[in-house]
Structure 1
Amino acid sequence: MHILMIECNPNGIAGIANALELGHDVTLVSVDPDFYLAASPLAEAAYAHPNCEVIKSETAFSIDELTALARELHERKPIHGVTTYSEYHTVHTASVAEALGLPGMSVDGARNARHKHLTRLTLDGKGVRQPRFAHVADPADIEPAVREIGFPCVVKPSDGTASLHVLHLKDEDDLRAYLAELADVADYGRGVVRIPDLLIEEFVTGDLISVESCVLASGEIVHLGLTDRPLSGFPYFIEMGATYFRGHPLQDELFAATTQVLEGLGVDFGFIHTEFLLGADGPVLCEVNGRLIGGIVPSLMQISSGVDPYLEVIRQALGERPELAFPGDTTAGGHWFGAPIDGTVESIAFDKLADLPGYHSALAYRKPGTPVTRLSRSNFDWIGHIIFTGSDRDEVNKRCEEGLDSIDLRMKVEVAR
């Protein structure tokens, strides 16, 4: 069968590789296919596969242009499924699937999940616990909105991802610096144009946790498990680890809240990632992502369940009922790491990790000779990860913390004179 992949993400190249191994044809449409070659060790072999076609399109972020391209591809070689692992392209995927009459999320549901201001506005007054918020579409309205919500607050682009340009503001100085920085951000790279909408939200303290779900073609919502998400980098919000598990004391409440959220937004198909902050009065909705969770978590899901969620995304797009990656007896977790200072990577070695209990794998994202920035602003500052297993999340997190101390990171740093 023929799968159209609209952009991807570095880890999601594994899904393309798996689909090719099963004999499917895959067409990847990307503004910058070379990005994946630099970011994934699997991309070169996938691109060279005889059943893989890679199309570079400078207009792939335009839904109209993308839909026209998909129709041309469909006429040349019928497409049987359309999907993506990219947060930036969930609405594009839903739109193309609808245009071709293929399985997919409703365009309205995809849009309500993709744009954070639509999530807030659509659910406002429907019984979902959300932070107090103000939606701003004109930069001139930002300062009044901040005064309405009050300091401290959180400001975030409506169409961002990976915690990019999400900031805790404590006072007017923070606000002025943020606005000056954001004024220079017209896009997120790779052809992704930023919309002007922002959210100003009250600052909710509490742990970040996400619910991983799948909405089947019948509309049934199935909750698979939970992912804890320790944060660092304050006043930025950088995810530093993840553990995939079941059994949280608030699990039933989190699952029920997620069902209410997805139904309220019209999210009616596919693997979904819903984030909550565990506030003093209970779970508070952070955001909804209308796609499979990113980063290392799909690998954690596979380690724990034996089911490859990347492949199940593709199977569902092809109209099949996916296998669901429920957490098993083994708990899997990982931690990301970054550079403590700006510099150039000389080497990243994991030799000492193999002797530690529960060690599963490790990966460096930056090759020797690559300049890196200090881990300080967003998930894009990561330079690698480690994965461990254990009997429960406490054991896994303890093992990951021990593993971080065993990484041998060597860098060349310019010394100011």
Structure 2
Amino acid sequence: MHVFMVECNPNGIAGIANALDLGHEVTLVTADPDFYLTVSPLAKDAFAHERCHVLKSDTAFSLDALEEIVRNVHAERPVHGVMTYSEYHTVHAAHVARVLGLPGMSVEGALNARHKHRTRLTLQGSGVRQPEFVHVKSEADVEAAIREIGFPCVVKPSDGTASLHVLHLKDETDLAGYLETLSGVTDYGRGVVRIPDVLIEEFVPGEIVSVEACVLQGGDVVNLGITDRVMSGFPYFLEMGLTFFDDHPLRDELYALNSVVLKELGIDFGFVHVEYILGPDGPVLCEVNGRLTGGIVPSLMKITSGGVDPYLEVIRQALGETPRLPVPGEVIATGRWFGSPVAGTVTNLDFSRLDGLPGFHEAQGYRKRGASITRLATSNFDWLGHLIFTGANRDEAAERAERALDLITLEVAVDVAR
């Protein structure tokens, strides 16, 4: 069968590889094929496969241009499923699926998840607890909105992802710096144009968790498990670690709330990732992502579910099949990311001291020797790599992973002139 993929993400290249292994044909539309060749060790072989077609298009972020592309592809080689792993392109995938009459999330539901201001506005009056917020349509209005919400607050672009340009503001100095930075952001790369909408929200203290779910054809919501978060300190919101499991003390409340959120937003198909803040008065909705969770969480899901690969199940569901569901089992998997305390050039990254440690499953670096790197500071794009450990429970797995971070050898050449 023929899968039409609208962009991807670095780890999602594994889904392309899996689909090819099963005999499927894949067409990937992307503004920047070299991006994947740089960040994924699987991309070179996948892109060279005879059944993988990589179409470079600088205009595919335009729905009209993308529609013309997919109609031409479909006329030449009929498309049987449409999907994406990319947060930036969930609306695009929903639109293309509708154009071809194939399984997919409703465009309205995809828009309600993709744009954070639409999530907030749609859920007003639904009974779902959300932070107090103000939606503005230009950064020129951010300052006045912050006066309404007050410090401390959280400010975020409505169409961002990976915690990029999400900031905790405590005072006027933070605000001035943020506005200066945001004014220079017009796109997110790979042809993705930023919309001007911004959300200003009250700061709600509490642990951040996410519920991973799958909405089956017909709209039935299946809550799969909960992912906890290890976060960096303010003012940024970097994720530095997580665990996928299901025995959280608020599981039943979170699952019930999540089902309400998805139905109210019109999210009627596909894997979904929804984040909550466990505030003083109970769970508060943080944001909704209308696609499979990113980063290393799909790998954790595959490990603890006994081999059910979420990347492949996204494709199977797009092709009209009933997906197998990766629910946590007896072995729990956790991951930790790491970065550099300074900018420079990677001269050595070595994981050899992790071999043989109890629960060690995987370690991976994202930058080769000689690559220029930034300091771990502002967003998840600053990560240099990750490691994954397993344990009999969340605490054991997390303890093993935390200890292992000290055994990674990272050497960086610093340009003192910079």
| Residue 117 (1) aligns with residue 117 (2) | yes
In structure 1, the residue matched to 2:395 is 394
* Offset at residue 43 of structure 1 (A): 0.3
User: What amino acid sits opposite 1:259 in the alignment?
Assistant: S
User: What amino acid sits opposite 2:296 in the alignment?
Assistant: I
In structure 2, the residue matched to 1:334 is 335
Q: Report % sequence identity.
A: 67
* Offset at residue 233 of structure 1 (A): 4.0
* Offset at residue 416 of structure 1 (A): 5.0
SS of the residue corresponding to residue 208 of structure 1 reads strand
Over the aligned positions, Cα root-mean-square deviation in angstroms equals 0.8
In structure 2, the residue matched to 1:313 is 314
Structure 1, unpaired ranges of 5+: none
| Residue 414 (1) aligns with residue 415 (2) | yes
In structure 2, the residue matched to 1:17 is 17
In structure 1, the residue matched to 2:39 is 39
SS of the residue corresponding to residue 355 of structure 1 reads coil
In structure 2, the residue matched to 1:29 is 29
In structure 1, the residue matched to 2:272 is 272
SS of the residue corresponding to residue 248 of structure 1 reads coil
In structure 1, the residue matched to 2:3 is 3
Aligned runs of 1:238-317 on 2, under 5 Å?
238-305=238-305, 306-317=307-318
User: What amino acid sits opposite 2:328 in the alignment?
Assistant: P
Aligned runs of 1:121-160 on 2, under 5 Å?
121-160=121-160
Contact 1:90 1:110 in 2 (8 A): yes
* Offset at residue 347 of structure 1 (A): 1.1
User: What amino acid sits opposite 2:374 in the alignment?
Assistant: T
In structure 1, the residue matched to 2:106 is 106
SS of the residue corresponding to residue 148 of structure 1 reads helix
User: What amino acid sits opposite 2:401 in the alignment?
Assistant: C
User: What amino acid sits opposite 2:345 in the alignment?
Assistant: T
* Offset at residue 415 of structure 1 (A): 2.8
Counterparts of 1:144 and 1:376, CA distance in 2: 28
Contact 1:233 1:375 in 2 (8 A): no
Contact 1:28 1:53 in 2 (8 A): yes
In structure 2, the residue matched to 1:177 is 177
| Residue 220 (1) aligns with residue 220 (2) | yes
* Offset at residue 230 of structure 1 (A): 1.1
> Deviation string for 1:331-358 (max 9, x for gaps)?
0010000001111100110000013210
Counterparts of 1:206 and 1:236, CA distance in 2: 15
| Residue 94 (1) aligns with residue 94 (2) | yes
What stretches of structure 1 move > 3 A for 4+ residues in a row? none
Structure 2, unpaired ranges of 5+: none
User: What amino acid sits opposite 2:304 in the alignment?
Assistant: S
TM score, norm. by length of structure 1: 0.99
How many equivalent pairs are there? 417
* Offset at residue 140 of structure 1 (A): 2.8
In structure 2, the residue matched to 1:367 is 368
> Deviation string for 1:125-153 (max 9, x for gaps)?
11000000000002332111101100000
Contact 1:233 1:376 in 2 (8 A): no
> Deviation string for 1:291-325 (max 9, x for gaps)?
00000000000001020000000000000000000
SS of the residue corresponding to residue 247 of structure 2 reads coil
Counterparts of 1:249 and 1:388, CA distance in 2: 23
SS of the residue corresponding to residue 26 of structure 2 reads strand
> Deviation string for 1:28-85 (max 9, x for gaps)?
0000011000000000000111111000001111111001110110010000000000
Counterparts of 1:242 and 1:109, CA distance in 2: 27
Counterparts of 2:278 and 2:190, CA distance in 1: 34
Counterparts of 1:139 and 1:3, CA distance in 2: 39
In structure 2, the residue matched to 1:191 is 191
User: What amino acid sits opposite 1:410 in the alignment?
Assistant: E
User: What amino acid sits opposite 1:327 in the alignment?
Assistant: P
User: What amino acid sits opposite 2:214 in the alignment?
Assistant: C
In structure 2, the residue matched to 1:345 is 346
Counterparts of 2:402 and 2:141, CA distance in 1: 43
Counterparts of 2:332 and 2:139, CA distance in 1: 45
SS of the residue corresponding to residue 126 of structure 2 reads coil
Contact 2:139 2:182 in 1 (8 A): no
Counterparts of 1:132 and 1:384, CA distance in 2: 35
| Residue 385 (1) aligns with residue 386 (2) | yes
* Offset at residue 414 of structure 1 (A): 2.2
Contact 2:354 2:407 in 1 (8 A): yes
